[in-house]
Amino acid sequence: MTPISADQKNLAILTTVATALGPLRESLVFVGGCATGLLVTNMRGSPRRPHDVAESHG
């Protein structure tokens, strides 16, 4: 049996919720929670640390 990836699990959850919402889903934006991993496009980006942000603006 092939293991299911986290993205596949999250997509299944999101699909279930979107289907249950019916036409209302056309008025919504899914962010956070199970949608986060589906929205990330740069998996190799370096994480930002609070002092990086402070230094770049100060």
Say whether pLDDT at 1 is over 70: yes
Q: Is residue 30 part of a domain?
A: yes
Say whether pLDDT at 32 is over 70: yes
Q: Is residue 58 part of a domain?
A: no
Specify the pTM. Answer: 0.59
Number of independent structural domains in the chain: 1
Q: Is residue 50 part of a domain?
A: no
For 21, residues 6+ apart whose C-beta sits below 8 A from its C-beta are 28
* Alpha-carbon 13 to chain mean position: 12
> What proportion of the chain, given as a percentage, has pLDDT over 90?
29
Q: Is residue 11 part of a domain?
A: yes
Q: How much is the mean pLDDT over the chain?
A: 79
